Amino acid sequence: MGIHDLLCSEFQQRVDECLIRHRSILDVLAKFQEGPSRTNRAVTKAVTSCGCLQINAGKQNIPLDVPLEKLGQYVESHLEGKLCPDCREIIESELGATLFYLAALCNLLDIDLYDVLIKEHKKLQTLGVFNLS
């Protein structure tokens, strides 16, 4: 067992030990779905309340003859600025909660989180930019 596998396994085990109140699959699914929404809200507040991030969006200008594997060179994130320490902490916390409920969902379904990560990594290695699922 490698260090990364051990870390995922320990994380999953710790989540299992800590998940007391929301143990129903329905609760876990609802909390897991709530995580990305809360992350979205935290990023939005970094723009609208704090101002550490700005969004400058416009049409992506992509030449017609660009091969798919080079497309990333022409696509922008539309983000300007950097997260301030306070916004970073909030967003990391929300992402952590999402990871917590992802691990809880894996536990309830008897799925090893590390196996999911490895399978997705292998798929990315094999398909590369053609992995548009």
User: Hey, what domains does the chain have and what are their CATH numbers?
Assistant: 3-130 (1.10.287.1080)
39-76 pLDDT tens trace: 999 999 999 999 999 999 999 888 888 887 788 888 88
Encode burial over 79-111: b for 16+ CB neighbours within 10 A, e otherwise. eeeebeeebeebbeebeebbebbbbbbbbbeee
Residues with Cβ < 8 Å from 126, sequence gap 6 or more?
Answer: none
Residue 118: is it exposed, middle or buried by C-beta count within 10 angstroms (0-12/13-18/19+)?
middle
Tell me, what's the pLDDT at 105?
A: 97
Q: Please check the confidence at residue 127 and state whether its pLDDT lies above 80.
A: no
The packing angle between helices 113-127 and 3-18, to 10°, is 130
112-124 pLDDT tens trace: 999 999 999 998 8
Tell me, what's the pLDDT at 66?
A: 84
**Token pair for residue 94?**
């929300």
Which band of pLDDT confidence, cut at 50, 70 and 90, is reported for residue 21?
Answer: confident
Alpha helices per DSSP H over 1-133 = 3-18, 25-45, 85-108, 113-127
Instruction: Tell me the whole-structure pTM to 2 decimals.
Output: 0.83
